[in-house]
Amino acid sequence: MIRKFQGGMFDEDWFASLSPHYKGMWFYLWHRVGDEGVWNVNLSIAWAIVGEKGEVNIENVIKRFNVGSVRMVSFAGGTKLLNLEFIRVHYGIRLNLDRSRVARKLYVILKAHGVEDKIPGLSFEGDAVKTYRDWETDRKSTRLNSSHLKLSR
């Protein structure tokens, strides 16, 4: 997936006020999250990348990045971090479960930890009752059933 970059953040006060270590952490997290915007927290690697072992921790990251707006949310007992800004830039804040594979994957991850409806500023539309496997089965059967269609020039 090609990662869009949010260049406007350089003009925002919350970003300008970050120390170089936290700016490095922002870029690291932007590139390390999965397509669904979730990072499996590994602080030892993050510390090696940003060069600050003690000060850069999940609580401080969330506190500094969430000035004025919620951009990061920790869940699963602090073992996972959701980059909401990444989601907003790439997919918007209303994720359609029927049309987006990424939305389905994110929904399944959040649901597994009981936080699918507790993330501020994020909403899901569509059939939330289906499991991820149901969506994949539907997608494959739709593709098989539509394979008989021919494009004409």
Q: What is the pTM of this model?
A: 0.77
pLDDT at 72: 94
Tokens, residue 73: 């949310």
Instruction: Give the model's pLDDT for residue 110.
Output: 92
Find which of 52-66, 69-83, 130-144 is predicted with most confidence, using mean pLDDT.
Answer: 69-83
How confident is the model at residue 107, as a pLDDT? Answer: 92
Rounded Cα gap, residues 109 and 132, in angstroms = 10
pLDDT of residue 67: 93
pLDDT value for 57 = 77
- 49's tokens: 């990348």
The string of pLDDT tens digits covering residues 110-130 is: 999 999 888 888 888 887 656
pLDDT band at 142 (very low <50, low <70, confident <90, very high): low
pLDDT score for 44: 85
Q: pLDDT-based confidence at 99, cuts 50/70/90?
A: confident
Instruction: Provide the mean pLDDT of the chain.
Output: 82
**Tens digits of residue pLDDT in 2-24:** 667 666 788 889 999 998 888 98
Residue recorded with tokens 């501020």: 120
10 SS3 class: helix
Mean pLDDT for the stretch of residues 28-51: 89
The encoded tokens of residue 46 equal 């993050």
Residue 132, pLDDT above cutoff 60: no
